[in-house]
């Protein structure tokens, strides 16, 4: 394993501060390294692998696409899996139209183009976009500019013009930024990278109303919080504040890369042929995976399970909070859980890894739990027991 990592370090661009772990296999909610050590996985490839590992339906479906030989055919032609996935997504969201791409970043880039076309066809100056501080929308120029965190933008200026940043969950700060040039407001319904912070339903309602008044498109980035993670198909369903545009990716292919832009009403009519495209977007392999995910979300037992196991992790964490003052806040919805700590979390994450448990962070002081949605109550108990041991070692 060390030898492989040495090679990796010599040939990878140094964009990631990777843990010294080489993973090559998964089963259920466990991943295995090349020395066959197993890890209970509460990272799920960053909220991607919602069906865990080796899901029989997903595996069978992908095998059958591979056996048929056609993984990709371009968007010159229709393919049955993309049509079915778009129809399922539309039914699940109540939003009419879907554009498939390959990632969250790309979905947000598409959203930026859509809202700018929408605004500028009314008034050429109506191209400004408001996003939230501490948001995360991606790493390419538009989506990085939309991201309200200077740490992602620092060395890469100049940024894309026309963006301003309001304070998340502060309606007045949004209202103050709105002008006749504003075409859209972008919000993550639960901020992920920014520290696992849910939007206040009242805030969402007020922003929706503001958008209606000024003919501004409301865009929800559900790339991380969407597709069942909160116990709802989409996090906006909790507050019942419906966006005009929604972006999806991470969980949509349960590990096969696929993203989507979804739009309703006037926003669904904006793009015309030639406006936007993606070579790989909605190819057969990725769309077949998306069909499996969307079928699972439509299964009436799937989302209640998320809420059941989410309650279990929450009560275990609350118990730990009673023992350790360093756990300052437990946040999140469903199986998108953040624990704010008064100390850096990296040593905790490393000790858990050593003990066979993978946990992510969301900034230096927040532990982030985004396990496969198929995780069982027993597995939650196992994970929480390992965490309790680690905290006892490090904090007592």
Ligand X SMILES: *Cc1c(COP(=O)(O)O)cnc(C)c1O
Give the Å distances, CA to CA, from 385 to 97, 206, 335, 379, 390: 45, 42, 18, 10, 9
Q: Which residue is nearest to ligand X (CB)?
A: 104
Alpha-carbon gap, residue 41 to 113, rounded angstroms: 36
Q: Give all strands (DSSP E) within the chain, no chain letters.
A: 23-27, 30-33, 38-41, 97-101, 128-132, 163-166, 182-188, 190-191, 197-198, 217-221, 245-248, 259-263, 327-333, 336-341, 357-358, 360-361, 366-369
Supply the minimum distance, in Å, between the C-beta of residue 317 and ligand X. 21
Nearer to ligand X, 222 or 244 (CB): 222
Q: Least Å distance between CB 24 and ligand X? A: 22
Assess contact for 126 and 180: CB atoms under 8 A.
Answer: yes
Strand partners, 97: 263
Q: Verify binding: residue 281, ligand X, rule CB under 6 A.
A: no
Distance of closest approach, residue 381 Cβ to ligand X, in angstroms: 28
79 binds ligand X (CB under 6 A): no
Q: With binding defined as CB under 6 A, does residue 249 bind ligand X?
A: yes
CB of 45 to ligand X, least distance (A): 11
Residue (147 or 182) nearer to ligand X, CB: 147
Helices (H) and strands (E) in the chain, counts: 14, 17
Query: Using alpha carbons only, how large is the chain's radius of gyration in Å?
Result: 21
Rank residues 108 and 264 by Cβ distance to ligand X and give the closer one.
108
Q: How far is CA 349 from CA 310, 320, 346, 391, in A?
A: 20, 16, 5, 10
CB of 250 vs ligand X, minimal distance in Å: 6
- The Cα–Cα gap between 292 and 373 comes to 14
Complex with ligand X: residue 51 or 107, whichever CB lies closer: 107
SS3 157: coil
Q: Return the closest-CA partner of residue 272 out of 114, 128, 94, 112.
A: 114
Footprint of ligand X on residues 116-145 (CB under 6 A)?
Answer: 136-138
User: What is the side-by-side order of every strand in the sheet holding 336-341?
Assistant: 327-333, 336-341, 366-369, 360-361
103 is a contact residue toward ligand X (CB under 6 A): yes
Q: Site size for ligand X, by CB under 6 A?
A: 15
- DSSP conformation class of 377: H
CB of 320 to ligand X, least distance (A): 26
Selected from 49, 105, 230, 365, the binder of ligand X by CB under 6 A is: 105
Shortest separation between residue 121's beta carbon and ligand X, angstroms: 26
Compare residues 210 and 249 and give the one whose CB is closer to ligand X: 249
Q: How far is the CB of 222 from ligand X (least distance, A)?
A: 8
Q: Which stretch binds ligand X (CB under 6 A): 75-83, 101-109, 173-181, 263-271?
A: 101-109
Nearest-5° Cα angle at 302, 299 to 305: 155
Q: What is the β-pairing status of strands 38-41 and 30-33?
A: antiparallel
Determine the straight-line distance between the first and last CA of the chain, rounded to whole angstroms.
Answer: 33
Of 20-28, 57-65, 221-229, 388-396, which part binds ligand X (CB under 6 A)?
Answer: 221-229
Interface residue with ligand X among 221, 244, 340, 379 (CB under 6 A) is: 221
Nearer to ligand X, 26 or 138 (CB): 138
Identity of the residue, 136 or 168, whose beta carbon is nearer to ligand X in the bound complex: 136
State yes or no: residue 192 binds ligand X (CB under 6 A): yes
Task: Work out which of 40, 199, 219, 223 binds ligand X, going by CB under 6 A.
Answer: 223
String of contacts with ligand X for each residue 170-189, x by CB under 6 A: ------------------x-
Task: Answer yes or no whether residue 361 interacts with ligand X by CB under 6 A.
Answer: no
Q: Is 371 in the site for ligand X (CB under 6 A)?
A: no
Q: At what angle do helices 56-68 and 284-298 cross, to 10 degrees?
A: 150
SS3 for 151?
helix
Regarding 41 and contact with ligand X (CB under 6 A), the answer is: no
In whole angstroms, what is the distance from residue 198 CA to residue 189 CA? 6
Which of 49, 79, 93, 224 is the binder for ligand X (CB under 6 A)? 224
- Residue numbers at the binding site for ligand X (CB under 6 A): 103-105, 108, 136-138, 188, 192-193, 221, 223-224, 249-250
């Amino acid at each position: 394993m060390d030898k492989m990592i040495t090679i990796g370090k010599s040939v990878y661009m140094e964009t990631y501060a990777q843990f010294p772990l080489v993973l090559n296999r998964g089963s259920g909610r466990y991943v295995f390294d090349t020395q066959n050590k197993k890890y209970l996985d509460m990272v799920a490839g960053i909220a991607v692998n919602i069906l865990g590992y080796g899901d029989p339906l997903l595996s069978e479906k992908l095998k059958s696409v591979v056996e048929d030989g056609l993984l990709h055919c371009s968007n010159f032609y229709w393919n049955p899996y993309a049509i079915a996935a778009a129809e399922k997504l539309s039914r699940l969201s109540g939003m009419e139209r879907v554009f498939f791409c390959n990632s969250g970043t790309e979905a947000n880039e598409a959203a930026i183009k859509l809202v700018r076309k929408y605004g500028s066809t009314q008034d050429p100056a109506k191209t400004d976009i408001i996003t939230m501080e501490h948001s995360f929308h991606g790493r390419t120029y538009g989506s990085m500019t939309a991201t309200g965190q200077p740490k992602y933008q620092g060395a890469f200026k100049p940024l894309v013009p026309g963006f301003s940043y309001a304070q998340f969950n502060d309606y007045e700060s949004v209202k103050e930024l709105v002008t006749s040039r504003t075409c859209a407001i972008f919000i993550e319904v639960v901020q992920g990278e920014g520290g696992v912070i849910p939007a206040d339903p009242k805030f969402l309602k007020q922003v929706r109303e503001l958008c209606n008044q000024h003919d501004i498109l409301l865009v929800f980035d559900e790339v991380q919080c969407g597709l069942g993670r909160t116990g709802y198909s989409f996090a906006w369903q909790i507050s019942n504040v419906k966006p005009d545009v929604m972006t999806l990716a991470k969980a949509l292919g349960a590990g096969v890369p696929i993203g989507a832009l979804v739009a309703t009403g006037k926003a669904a009519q904006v793009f015309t042929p030639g406006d936007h495209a993606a070579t790989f977007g909605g190819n057969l392999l990725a769309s077949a995976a998306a069909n499996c995910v969307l079928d699972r979300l439509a299964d009436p037992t799937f989302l209640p399970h998320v809420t059941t196991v989410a309650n279990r992790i929450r009560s275990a964490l609350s118990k730990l909070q009673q023992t350790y003052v360093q756990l300052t806040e437990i946040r999140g919805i469903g199986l998108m859980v953040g624990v704010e700590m008064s100390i850096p979390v990296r040593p905790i994450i490393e000790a858990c890894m050593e003990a066979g448990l993978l946990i992510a962070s969301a900034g230096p002081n927040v532990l982030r739990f985004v396990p496969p949605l198929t995780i069982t109550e027993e597995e939650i108990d196992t994970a929480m027991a390992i965490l309790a041991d680690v905290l006892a070692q490090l904090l007592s």
